[in-house]
Every structure is written in C-alpha cells, then in structure tokens.
Chain A
Amino acid sequence: MRRLVKPLIGVLGVLPLVWLTFAVLTGRTSANPAEDIILTTGIWSLRFLLASLAITPLRRLTGWNVLIQYRRMLGLFAFFYACVHLAGYLAFDRFFAFDEVFADLAKRPFITAGMVAFALMVPLAITSTRGWIRSLGRRWQLLHRLVYVSAIAAVIHYLWKVKADSTLPLRYALLLAVLLGLRLWWLRRRLPRPAAAAPAR
C-alpha cells in the first residue's frame, strides 16, 4: 500500500500539466493561452514549494516520519513547474529577445525576485540525488536551507506581480510565514540545549 503513495503523488503532480496541455490543445483556455500557462505553472510551482516546506512541520506535529520520503518529489515538482513557467515567460512574453530579458531582470524588481527564487532552486534540484546527499553530508542540510530564501523570493515575486488586489498572494505569504515561523519557534525552544540538536529541518 505504502509503495503506491509515491507513484500516486507523481501522477497527481503532473495533472496540472496534463490539464493545461489538454486545455491548450483543445482550445479550452482563455483568449490568452500564454497567460494561462505562465500563471498556472507559476502558482503550481509555489504550491509544490510550500508543500515541500510543510513536510517537516507536519512530520513533527503528527509523528509520521514516512512523510519525509515525499519531500524530494514535491520539491522537484516545484522546480519542474518553475522551469515551464520560466520557459513560458522567455518564449511567449519576451519572444526570446534576451536583451529585453536582461533589461527586465535589471529594471523590474518583480522579475528579479522570480529569478532569485528560480536560481536558488537550481542547485537544490541538482543536489537532490542520493549520491549528492551522501557526498555532501552535513553540508547538504546547510545548502538546502536555501529553499527558505527561494520561497520568500517566490512569495515576494507574486506580491509584486499583482496589480491591485493582494489578497491571494498574502494568503500564500501567511502560509509561508507559518511554515517558517514554526521552525523558528522550535529552534528557539531547542537553543538552550544545543547538545540535543537533531538534524531534522
């Protein structure tokens, strides 16, 4: 039974993409399919990122250690959707005009924040294999704390993108604040007893 969980997450994880492809191919998108693709992949990247960040707190709260097995998959889905999102922006919005892309990166804080979020995900995706985890040892933990910065940058990217109503991005910001806040709180409680520092993030 437990063996089925990973493939199930895999199938569910590609569903947004399948659904998008289906919608584009059959003309079921809005009149602006490029926007549908960029927004849908952006939001799913963020959702998977937050889901991966929820594993550790959930595990601590529930004691279900098995959850840790699914964290890498969630993180990789976040990276995957970020790649499609970025490719969509480069191809559809900027039509591969890289001079415009660099101008965007330099001039538009909203794009810069997205790029920071993305750039930080790259080393994490690369070092997510068993081999890298083993060879990096304790440094792997340190490196992968970058995910906090990536998630903060992603939420800022979303907040800055919005034109008028920040309700939705603020909800994501709140969720991220809870996920990171829990960690800080646990960290503080642990501080007086540094010897007991457990490696769980």
Chain B
Amino acid sequence: MLIRRASDIRSSDVTDERTYLQRRDLIRLAGGIACATAVGTLVPGCSEHPAAESLAPAAPAAAAQATLENVRPAVVSTDEKQNTFEEITSYNNFYEFGLGKNDPQRYAGAMRTSPWSVKIDGLCNKPANYQLEDLVRPHALEERIYRLRCVEAWSMVIPWVGIPLSAVLSRAEPQGKAAFVEFTTLHRPSEMRGQSGTALEWPYREGLRLDEAMHPLTILAVGLYGRTLMNQNGAPLRLVVPWKYGFKSIKSIVRIRFVERQPATSWSMSNPAEYGFYSNVNPEVDHPRWSQSREKRLPALFASTRTRMFNGYDEVASLYAGMDLRKHY
C-alpha cells in the first residue's frame, strides 16, 4: 500500500473552514434563543440534547487525509448516486465518541491512529501482531462502491477503498476448527470519550461466520473517496459487510480472532431481542421498534426507497440456504 503523507492537503480544501464556523455560530445562536423559550431551568440539558446538536455541524477534524495510490477503480460499483464526503463524514453512529450523529465528527479527532497494530490470533497457524502497514501492504487496494444500510432505516452510497478480508484471513491460515471470526475495536477511554459512558459494553465487538468473512464482498476498508479514512468513519481500519446492517461493520479494529463458537457481539449483548448475530438486511423481518421495509436514502427527506433483501447483494443468498432468517435475524 502506498500512502503519501499529504501534509499539503489542508482541511480547508475539503470544506471551507470559515463557512463551517459561521454556520456553527449562527446555529448556536438560534439554538440558544430557542432554548431560552422553555421557562428557565425547565429544559433538562437543552444544549446537550442530540436532536438540538445534530443541527450544528462541528469543525472538520484537523488532520489531513493522505491520498491512497494505485487503487483499482470501481471493482464493485453501482450506478446509484454517491453520498458526498461531507455527508459520509458528518453523520455517523460511532458510540465510542457519543450518541449524537455529529459527535463522531466532533470528537473522533482525539483518537490516535498511528502507530496502529492489529493482532490476528485464535485458531490459526500464523497468528501475528501486525503494524497496520504490514497488514495492508501485500494486498492491492480496491475501490468498492457499496450501499450502506443502517438498522435505523437510513442508507448511503459510499466509495470505500479497501482490501478483501479473505486475503488477510488466508494469510493467517485458519485451522479446521475455526468457524467464526471475532473483531474488536480499540478500547482507549482517554481518547474515546463515549467509552466512559455505559451505552454499550466496551470494547465494541463484532463477529462473522467464517464463510461470511471469506465472501468476496467483505472488505477491510482503509479509505474513502480515495483518501485514508477519517477517524469518525473508523480509521485506520474497519470492516465493511454491505449486505448486513451498518453496526456489523465494526470500526477501528485492533484484533481479529478465529474462534470455534459464535462470538458475543455488542448490540446483541445489549439487546438480544432486537439485534441478532446475523443482522442481514431484510425488509421482511422488522426491528421491534420500527419497520425495515423502506429506507431513507440520505439526504432525502422521504423514506421512499424500498429496502432490498441482503441490501440488494443477492449473491450472498447461498450463504444462508436452508436457514430460517426470521429466527436467525
């Protein structure tokens, strides 16, 4: 992998910083006045309210993103309209940095992503502790333009840059007994302010069946729009499994482990009735609190897009042949 440290790319190239600041001030002001309408202290923590905050974009993270070179373009693609860089980097679920959709953009800058090592262990012949570079370099970078369908019934189209997970897993030589792969996110409360809260049990964990992990659509992403990932998107290394709800695509991975039994996964641990291990996109199996039959293709106002089985990636259907997907949601 060739990463050019492009210190000449200023954040102002991405979005004009002054525009940001003006916006922020305006909206703070409006928000402040609006808060004052509710009789004095009647408003519990108005300013901390996620709904109020989501309207106030934060300043962009200061770190410039390096350009990724020698990327094979559009290895998997779609003719749907891609979401903008601004949308993809300002509207995130990354509870390690807070519950508001804008919190990750605001606060993920505090996470140090260099140096970064990834431990690959468990039931394999070649366990190793890789520096990020060594993990990624042997593989050709590919652009994969995928739909991302969140369990909250919104979706985006995102041009990831990454490598097939299967290539990385094969290097470790999984043993015959390995049936599942477990992934773990960095746990560093000093830099990840949400981890001092109890929204989920930290560190975040996810898992795939080995055949799901080896599927050619499953990738480890290192970039977005041709540049290295922003922290709020799970820098420096994250999973992308496009036929599953977004929370399966774990961010900022530090450990990949081959295991024999189905691993515990964060959302399923927190609410097993609502979030299963498989969590395949499925318009016929509703989330207990909302229907999954349609989705908002952001930034659309209306949920006018019909959700497709496996998020439209029909080629994975054979992985689940003979399984009752209502039971294994």
Are A and B bound to each other? yes
By a beta-carbon cutoff of 8 Å, the part of chain A in contact with chain B is 9, 12-13, 15-16, 19-20, 22-23, 28-36, 39-40, 42-43, 47-48, 50-51, 54, 58, 91-95, 97, 100, 103-104, 107-108, 110-111, 160-161, 163-165, 168, 171-172, 174-175
Is B42 a contact partner of A165 (Cβ separation < 8 A)? no
Query: B interface, by DSSP: helix, strand, loop or mixed?
Result: loop
Could you tell me the distance between the alpha carbons of A13 and B36 in the complex, rounded to whole angstroms? Answer: 10
> B45 contacts which chain A residues (CB < 8 A)?
168, 171
CB-CB < 8 A to A175: which residues of B? 42, 44
Choose from B51, B156, B304 the contact partner of A39 (Cβ within 8 Å): B51
- CA–CA, A23 to B298, complex, Å? 16
Q: Which residues of B contact A (CB under 8 A)?
A: 23, 26-27, 30-31, 33-34, 36-39, 42-45, 48-52, 54-55, 57, 83, 86-87, 90-91, 95, 99, 101-102, 153-154, 156, 197-200, 270-271, 286, 288-291, 293-294, 296, 298-304
- Given A16-B37, A22-B30, A34-B302: A40 and B51 interface contact (C-beta under 8 Å): yes
The answer to whether B44 touches A171, judged by C-beta atoms less than 8 angstroms apart, is yes
**A-B interface, 5 closest residue pairs, ranked by CB to CB distance from nearest:** A12-B37, A39-B51, A31-B91, A171-B44, A31-B87
Q: How far is the CB of A165 from chain B (nearest CB, A)?
A: 4
Q: Which of B54, B90, B290 contacts A36 (CB 8 A)?
A: B54
Question: How distant is the Cα of A65 from the Cα of B205 in the complex, in angstroms?
Answer: 57
Task: Decide: B291 and A103 in contact? CB cutoff 8 A.
Answer: yes
B30 nearest in chain A by CB position: A19
B120 → A minimal CB distance (Å): 29
12 interchain pairs, CB-CB under 8 A: A30-B55, A30-B101, A31-B156, A32-B154, A34-B302, A40-B52, A91-B301, A93-B290, A95-B302, A164-B200, A165-B199, A168-B48
Complex Cα gap A107–B288 (Å): 8
Chain B residues closer than 8 Å to A43, beta-carbon distance: 49, 51-52
- For B300, what are the chain A residues with a Cβ–Cβ distance below 8 Å? 34
Dominant SS among interface residues on chain A: helix
**B195 nearest CB across to chain A (Å):** 13
CB distance A108 to B289 under 8 Å?
A: yes
Q: Is B33 a contact partner of A15 (Cβ separation < 8 A)? A: yes
Cα A185 to Cα B271 in complex, Å, equals 37
* Contact between B301 and A54, CB atoms less than 8 A apart: no
5 extra interface residue pairs, beta carbon distance < 8 Å, beyond A23-B55, A39-B51: A28-B27, A30-B57, A30-B101, A34-B300, A165-B197
Tell me the smallest distance from the CB of B251 to a CB of chain A, in Å. 16
